[in-house]
C-alpha cells in the first residue's frame, strides 16, 4: 500500500512538473515573440544618425556582466550531469568568479553574452518544441537554428555584433533582412505561444 501511494505521489509530482515546464515554455514563447518584435522595430529604425549611440553597445561591461552572469547560471544545470562529483558544489561559485573575471578582462562582454544567450535559447526552444509537439516544428527549428548559429559566430568573434549594427545603419538590404527575420520569428513565437496556451 505504501509503495502504491508513493508511486501515485511520484506520478502526481511528475505531472505537476510537466505542467509547470509546459507553462514556462508558453511564457518563453511569448517573451521571445515580444523581444523579437522589439528587435524588428529597432532594426528597422537603425540609420547612420543613430549609429554612434548603438555601435558601442556590444562592449558595454555592466550590461554584459549581468547577462553573462545569468547565462552562466543557466549553464549550471547543463554542466551538472557531466562534471566530476567534487566539482558540483563549485559550479555556482564558479559562475560568480567567471563573471567577475569576464567583467575585468574581457572586451565586448555584452556581445559575448548575447552570443551565449542565443545558443542557450536555441537549445531550449528546439528541445521544448520537440517535447511538447509544437506545430510547424521544422520551420520553427530552422529559424531557431539560425539564431543559434549566429550566436556561435558572435561568441567566437564578438566584434561581429558591432559590425552587424554598422551594417544595419548603412545597408538598406541588411536592414530589411534583419527586420524580416525578427518579424517572422516574433510572429511565429507569439502564434505558437497562443496555440499552446489554448491547447493547455
Q: Are 110 and 60 in contact (CB under 8 A)?
A: yes
Measured distance CA(119)–CA(127) in Å, rounded: 12
Residue 4 has pLDDT above 70, yes or no: no
Residue 16 has pLDDT above 90, yes or no: no
**Over residues 93-97, mean pLDDT:** 97
How far from chain centre, in Å, is Cα 106? Answer: 21
Nearest to 185 by CA among 12, 7, 19, 31: 31
Question: What does the pLDDT read at residue 9?
Answer: 35
Digit-coded pLDDT (tens) for 21-57: 999 999 999 999 999 999 999 999 999 999 999 999 9
**CB neighbour list of residue 196: distance below 8 Å, 6 or more residues apart:** 22, 25, 26, 29, 132, 134
Residue 15 has pLDDT above 60, yes or no: no
**Over residues 83-98, mean pLDDT:** 97
Q: Are 48 and 170 in contact (CB under 8 A)?
A: yes
Alpha helices in the chain (DSSP H): 2-45, 51-54, 61-79, 91-105, 109-131, 137-156, 159-170, 172-199
Average model confidence (pLDDT) across the chain: 92
Measured distance CA(25)–CA(170) in Å, rounded: 37
The three-point CA angle 58-98-128 to 5° equals 75
pLDDT band, very low/low/confident/very high, at 200 (cuts 50, 70, 90): confident
Residue 8 has pLDDT above 50, yes or no: no
Q: How buried is 144 (Cβ within 10 angstroms: 0-12 exposed, 13-18 middle, 19+ buried)?
A: buried
pLDDT band, very low/low/confident/very high, at 79 (cuts 50, 70, 90): very high
Size of the chain in residues: 200
Q: Are 58 and 161 in contact (CB under 8 A)?
A: yes
pTM, two decimal places: 0.89
pLDDT band, very low/low/confident/very high, at 18 (cuts 50, 70, 90): low
Digit-coded pLDDT (tens) for 105-155: 999 999 999 999 999 999 999 999 999 999 999 999 999 999 999 999 999
Amino acid at each position: 500500500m505504501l509503495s502504491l501511494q508513493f508511486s501515485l505521489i511520484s506520478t502526481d509530482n511528475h505531472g505537476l512538473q510537466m505542467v509547470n515546464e509546459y507553462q514556462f515554455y508558453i511564457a518563453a514563447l511569448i517573451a521571445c515573440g515580444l523581444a523579437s518584435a522589439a528587435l524588428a522595430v529597432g532594426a528597422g529604425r537603425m540609420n547612420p544618425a543613430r549609429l554612434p549611440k548603438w555601435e558601442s553597445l556590444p562592449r558595454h561591461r555592466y550590461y554584459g556582466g549581468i547577462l553573462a552572469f545569468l547565462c552562466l547560471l543557466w549553464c549550471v544545470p547543463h554542466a551538472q550531469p557531466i562534471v566530476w562529483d567534487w566539482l558540483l558544489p563549485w559550479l555556482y561559485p564558479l559562475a560568480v568568479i567567471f563573471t567577475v573575471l569576464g567583467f575585468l578582462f574581457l572586451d565586448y562582454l555584452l556581445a559575448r553574452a548575447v552570443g551565449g544567450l542565443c545558443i542557450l535559447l536555441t537549445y531550449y526552444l528546439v528541445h521544448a518544441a520537440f517535447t511538447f509537439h509544437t506545430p510547424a516544428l521544422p520551420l520553427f527549428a530552422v529559424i531557431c537554428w539560425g539564431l543559434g548559429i549566429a550566436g556561435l559566430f558572435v561568441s567566437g568573434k564578438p566584434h561581429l555584433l558591432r559590425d552587424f549594427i554598422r551594417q544595419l545603419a548603412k545597408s538598406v538590404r541588411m536592414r530589411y533582412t534583419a527586420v524580416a527575420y525578427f518579424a517572422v520569428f516574433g510572429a511565429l513565437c507569439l502564434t505558437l505561444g497562443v496555440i499552446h496556451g489554448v491547447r493547455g
